[in-house]
């Protein structure tokens, strides 16, 4: 990032700029043209064209690149700072990303402590609402969006990456309704473009279905057709319950 050499001691990228540097799960199209830069007191908030300056009273935990030239607020502090900017669902999506199955950047307890320490800062009320909705173990933002959609429609909450034991092995499903033996899988673009991943998914789902589980596959088009998607899932759950 071109601005990095201009960072002074006690300054770091923050807010949406930090989220981009840390590759956190941000809403599509939310990124701003301006850079958010925060200074630790007594240094003044930076000013300049294309820069949104902030100032904090004490130094928070800061992430640094290997070279030390790129500094950003930590993943947890970045999530806290965006409480005033993101919707509830988007805070849950980002929070789930921090607790992801692969390479988690935080723990639920750690996020809870950070929210408590934020006191009455702007956006904290929304963060408090988001905290109990977070679930560890997700693999992608669409999985979280799908889970929130189903819960919002009054359907039971599914297990996230629930384990399914079959005669041929143990497998995981993105969202699992265990009592009705229904698995919901989100098929992202990488599932189709990565031949190895595609083969792994085909074999895994074949084994799950052979163990008499029903698998519903959801792509971005079906996810956008919310009423149809909810109806399909509700029907599958009811069918599963009636046959058990």
CATH no. for residue 154? 3.40.960
Range of 103's domain? 4-131
- Domain end, chosen from 131, 164, 193, is at 131
**Structural domain ending residue among the three candidates 131, 165, 199:** 131
CA-to-CA dists, residue 137 to 19, 107, 109, 153, angstroms: 20, 11, 15, 22
pLDDT at residue 67 greater than cutoff 60: yes
Domain total of the chain: 2
- Domain end marker among 131, 163, 190: 131
Q: What is the mean pLDDT of residues 212-236?
A: 96
pLDDT band at 243 (very low <50, low <70, confident <90, very high): confident
**Half-sphere CA count of 176, side-chain side, radius 13 A:** 19
| pLDDT single digits (tens) 35-50 | 999 999 999 999 888 8
Same domain, 86 and 19: yes
Looking at residue 51, its pLDDT comes to 92
pLDDT in tens, 87-133: 999 999 999 999 999 999 999 999 999 999 999 889 999 999 999 99
Quote the strand ranges of 26-79, DSSP E: 35-40, 51-56, 62-64, 71-73
| Tens of pLDDT, residues 168-212 | 899 999 999 999 999 999 998 665 667 788 888 889 999 999 999
Q: What pLDDT is attached to residue 70?
A: 86
Asked whether residue 136 is domain-assigned, the answer is: no
**Residues 111 and 85 grouped into a single domain:** yes
Q: Do residue 200 and residue 234 come from a single domain?
A: yes
Q: 150 in a domain, yes or no? A: yes
Peptide bond connecting 117 to the previous residue in cis, omega within 30 degrees of 0 = no
């Amino acid at each position: 990032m071109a601005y990095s050499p201009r960072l002074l001691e006690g300054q770091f990228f923050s807010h949406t700029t930090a989220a981009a540097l840390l590759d956190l799960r941000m809403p599509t199209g939310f990124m701003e043209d301006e850079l958010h830069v925060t200074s630790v007191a007594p240094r003044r908030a930076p000013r300049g064209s294309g820069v949104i300056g902030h100032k904090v009273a004490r130094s928070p935990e800061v992430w640094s690149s290997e070279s030390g030239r790129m500094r950003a607020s930590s993943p947890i502090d970045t999530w806290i700072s965006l409480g005033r900017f993101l919707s509830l669902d988007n805070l849950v999506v980002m929070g789930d990303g921090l607790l992801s199955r692969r390479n988690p950047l935080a723990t639920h307890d750690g996020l809870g402590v950070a929210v408590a320490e934020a006191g009455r800062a702007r956006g904290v009320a929304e963060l408090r609402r988001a905290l109990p909705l977070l679930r560890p173990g997700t693999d992608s933002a669409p999985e979280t969006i799908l889970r929130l959609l189903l819960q919002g429609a009054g359907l039971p909450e599914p297990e996230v990456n629930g384990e399914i034991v079959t005669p041929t092995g143990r497998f995981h499903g993105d969202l699992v309704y265990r009592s009705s033996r229904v698995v919901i899988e989100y098929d992202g673009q990488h599932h189709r473009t990565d031949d190895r991943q595609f083969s792994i998914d085909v074999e895994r789902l074949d084994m799950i279905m052979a163990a008499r589980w029903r698998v519903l596959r959801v792509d971005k088009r079906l996810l956008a057709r919310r009423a149809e998607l909810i109806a399909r899932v509700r029907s599958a759950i009811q069918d599963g319950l009636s046959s058990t």
